Amino acid sequence: MPTPHQQAEAQLTAYALSLPETDLAPGWTDTRYLRVRSKGFAVFGDKGEAPDALTLTFKLPISYEMIQDLPFVRQGSPWYRQYKWAIAHFGPDDDILAELDTLKGWLRQSYVAMAPKALGRLLTESGA
């Protein structure tokens, strides 16, 4: 039976793949990389991560500053901070399923930030 973290990743991946022109590619080490027209907009996983944990990385140009005090947000390197890439980490005791709507919103924001403008506009105009 999949862990809640694996269930969340499956649901978030399905949501992301429903966005126009996205695909899932292997990342580095143990990560999975979501792309729009070959530009990464989210990363799932981290090196050596346990099955009952999940790390997610998103580009959040709008809400980056607002989310820094959330208990599951980790401080990234100066590069991550400069370019507003946020890292969310959920350990074994964290209820990741309770945060699915938030994480879907972050996927959407990251997609719009990284997608070609015409694709990003499709999403923002449709409200999907």
In a domain, 110, yes or no: yes
The pLDDT tens digits for 43-68 are 999 888 888 899 999 999 999 999 99
pTM score of the predicted model: 0.91
Query: In which residue are the tokens 């996205």 written?
Result: 22
Query: Dihedral through CA 38, CA 39, CA 45, CA 47, nearest 10?
Result: 90
Chain-centre distance for alpha carbon 40: 10
Please state, in angstroms and rounded to a whole number, the distance separating the CA atoms of residues 32 and 45.
6
Q: Are 68 and 81 in contact (CB under 8 A)?
A: no
In a domain, 20, yes or no: yes
pLDDT bracket for residue 127 (50, 70, 90): low
* CATH number for 58: 3.30.1460
In a domain, 121, yes or no: no
In a domain, 122, yes or no: no
In a domain, 78, yes or no: yes
Q: How many domains does the chain have?
A: 1
Nearest to 113 by CA among 33, 59, 36: 59
Say if residue 71 is exposed, middle or buried (CB neighbours under 10 Å; 0-12, 13-18, 19+): exposed
Domain that holds residue 63: 4-116
